[in-house]
Amino acid sequence: MTRKTDTMRKSDTPAMFSLIARKYDLLNHLFSLHIDRLWRKQLFSLSEIPDGGAVLDACTGTGDVALVFGRSRRVSTVVGVDLSTGMLDVAAAKARKKSLDGKVRFMQADVLNLPFEDGTFDAVTISFGVRNLQDYDKGMAEMTRVLKPGGRVLILEFAPPTRDLYLKGYNFYLKKIIPAVGGFISGNDAAYKYLATSVDGFLPRERMLELLGRAGLESLCVKKLAGGVAYIYRGEKSSRAGAGPVADCPE
């Protein structure tokens, strides 16, 4: 197996994710001790998707979030978009295996230039993908554009480690264990070094909320996960003026 150790950049991520697509789910569940499954269910619950709702899952990867929504009777259709053809192939195979390929479809598309009309979807989700966007504001603006008035953007994303005692251990896990184990299993050292670096250098909670506000999203709420390792952010597209106070998302 050829091991790739070059430095990764955001522009490399579609090809990078294609290279690790077959091992991606295995390593995701391994590194999170399967807690990522619970986080995705919480994301779904916070969407409060209406009956017959249409959902866009941006940076869908191997389609886990898209398939969570696809299993709901309230949801009529789900579209998952990504730039990585390798990840999309895995996602499509999973949809077929679960007999959801008639309800959930996957396509190659750039979140910075979504091929959908304004106001197409009742909910737009993005999980562990914002930090890979080359332009955060443009990506958030595009996701908001394709959202119906009253619809919600929901983001599940890691947060950079803080200095408290609990997250010092997480910092070591993120920077040392994940690159070493991920590189060994996937055969791609650079990919898992990039993933660790992208978390460490990402936006903290306050700046993420500012990002949603700049996109015109309102009624903002945030849910802390695993003591601050990750957060769910939710914002609503509305015609009202002003974003209003930020609240904790309901349990």
The DSSP annotation for 24-71 comes to HHHHHHHHHTTHHHHHHHHHHHHH-PPTTEEEEEET-TTSHHHHHHHT
Asked if residues 41 and 69 have their Cβ atoms less than 8 Å apart, the reply is: no
Alpha carbon 52 to chain centroid, angstroms: 23
Q: Tokens 């909910």 identify what position? A: 123
Fold of the domain spanning 33-161+203-248: Rossmann fold (3.40.50)
Q: φ and ψ at 79, to 5 degrees?
A: -120, 125
Give the residues of the chain that fall short of pLDDT 50. Answer: 1-7, 165, 241
Residue partners of 99: CB distance under 8 A and separation at least 6: none
- By C-alpha distance, which of 185, 211, 182 is closest to 195? 182
pLDDT at residue 11, rounded to an integer? 67
pLDDT at residue 222, rounded to an integer? 96
pLDDT at residue 73, rounded to an integer? 96
pLDDT at residue 1, rounded to an integer? 33
pLDDT at residue 186, rounded to an integer? 76
- Rg (C-alpha) for the chain, rounded Å, is 17
pLDDT at residue 244, rounded to an integer? 58
Q: How many CA atoms lie within 13 A of 74 on its CB side?
A: 13
The token pair that represents 95 in the structure block: 């949809």
pLDDT at residue 240, rounded to an integer? 58
pTM: 0.87
Angle, helices 178-186/13-32, rounded to nearest 10 degrees: 110
pLDDT in tens, 6-25: 345 666 777 877 878 777 77
Q: How many CA atoms lie within 13 A of 145 on its CB side?
A: 14
* Domain boundaries along the sequence of the chain: 33-161+203-248
The DSSP annotation for 79-142 comes to EEEES-HHHHHHHHHHHHHTT-TTTEEEEE--GGG--S-TT-EEEEEEES-GGG-S-HHHHHHH
The token pair that represents 83 in the structure block: 């730039």
How many Cβ atoms from other residues are within 10 Å of residue 169's Cβ?
10
